Amino acid sequence: MIRSIKALTASSYISMLFLGVASTLIGAAARNINLSPFEIGVLLTVQNIGFMLAVWIAGALSDNHEKPRILTVGSLILGFSFLTFYLSDIFWVNLIIMLMIGAGAGVYEGVTDAMLLDMHSTRQNLHININHFFVTFGSILITTYLIFLQMSWRVALTQSAVVVLLLAIFFIIARLAIRHTQQEDYAQRLRILSRQRLVVALFIATALVVGVELASSGILTTYLMDMRGFTQVTSKLGLLTFLVGIAAGRLFVGFFTRRSQITQYLLGMFALAGLFFAILYYVDLGVWTYLSIFLAGLSMSALLPLMITLAGLVYPDMSGTVIGTIKVAIPLGGILVPLLMSVVSKWASLQAAIAIFPLALWLACFLLWVTFRRTPALNMPH
């Protein structure tokens, strides 16, 4: 029986690394599997549906059940899904497996942050930022593994499955006490949270920032090649620079942010992110473009972890439910913002479509600013 906080913290980080692998799998391996654009779109949509349902359910369950037990289920689902993905060429079979990959990743997303908040009474923001650093690191790892090293995607997925199944064994023997600080059932907790303007604002802001991150990741190489004269190789290096900026920022902000100052950091970083995205997409900096790409990733890096930390600290008695509820906005934003960008680019231009990025970030900043002003008592301990 394992009760070590250090071991459980490390297992959370490793889980999120494989969440990053799962979220980038289709983008990294699509050419190797010979997927058509239609198949890619359908697979990603189904993955997001699985993720959305799992993060909601797992977050709700984590307030009243042992979190390692829930993570065991998520690990088993994700591990076996990795093992079986595209062993068969039957598309509908792989569609079901992709739904399960999304569900396994959703369990990790819905439980690990709440578990870290339960285990750590200080530096919670640091641990959650590191947790999400590993998501980005997993995305960088699978992209580098498959694209630059030209390794077999099947070997990479099998190796990932083995590690995830080992995580399942670890979570089976791990123990973490359940907080018994509130007795409301899930419906009551959800009704309470739905009346909180802070939760609504964080939900909308999460959808906007995640949508901008995913849409920008998807369009960045095309933008760099079409409008800045980059090549195939240099545009991919630009995408990696963006991901490295996000990873570095999550570590940097995590180390230096005090939880009593989270609201100020959020507003400042949202404002800066909008500015740096506007510079990236509307100012031709020539050889300095890589720097603007890095700063754009850096400025938005900690926005999601900071919002998750804020929600968990303000509602400690139902941290799993509130975090799971807010994280439902992750797949919603990942669908709606890229869709809006696609529609605008079709009927106007790419230059008009990418204006969505800084505008969305500034909109989230304004929404949170208004909410913080109207909610002065945020229950933020020093």
- Domains of the chain, first to last: 5-175 (1.20.1250.20), 190-374 (1.20.1250.20)
From CA 212, how far away is CA 204, in angstroms rounded? 12
What are the two backbone dihedrals, phi and then psi, of residue 174, each rounded to the nearest 5 degrees?
Answer: -85, 150
pTM for this prediction: 0.79
The amino acid present at 165, given as its one-letter code, is L
Query: What values do phi and psi take at 2, rounded to 5?
Result: -110, 125
The number of beta carbons lying within 10 Å of the beta carbon of residue 39 is 16
How far apart, in Å, are the Cα atoms of 98 and each of 169, 305, 331?
Answer: 23, 26, 14
Digitized pLDDT (tens) for each residue of the chain, 382 residues in all: 556 788 888 999 999 999 988 887 776 676 667 777 678 778 888 888 899 999 988 988 887 788 899 999 999 999 999 999 988 888 899 999 999 999 999 999 989 988 888 888 777 778 888 888 898 888 888 777 765 655 567 788 888 899 999 999 999 988 776 655 454 566 676 677 767 889 899 999 999 999 898 888 778 877 888 888 888 778 878 888 898 899 888 888 777 777 778 888 899 999 999 999 999 999 988 889 999 999 999 999 889 989 988 888 888 877 778 888 888 898 888 888 887 887 888 788 878 888 999 999 999 999 999 999 887 655 444 4
Rounded-to-integer distance, Cα 366 and Cα 114, Å: 27
Helices then strands, counting H and E runs in the chain, come out as: 16, 0
Residue 158 CA to residue 83 CA, distance in Å, equals 6
Is the alpha carbon torsion for 143, 145, 151, 152 positive or negative?
Answer: negative
Q: What's the DSSP call for residue 148?
A: I
Q: What is the pLDDT of residue 381?
A: 45
Say if residues 199 and 26 touch (Cβ distance below 8 Å). no
Residues 6+ apart with CB under 8 A from 382: 258, 259, 260
Q: What is the pLDDT of residue 117?
A: 84
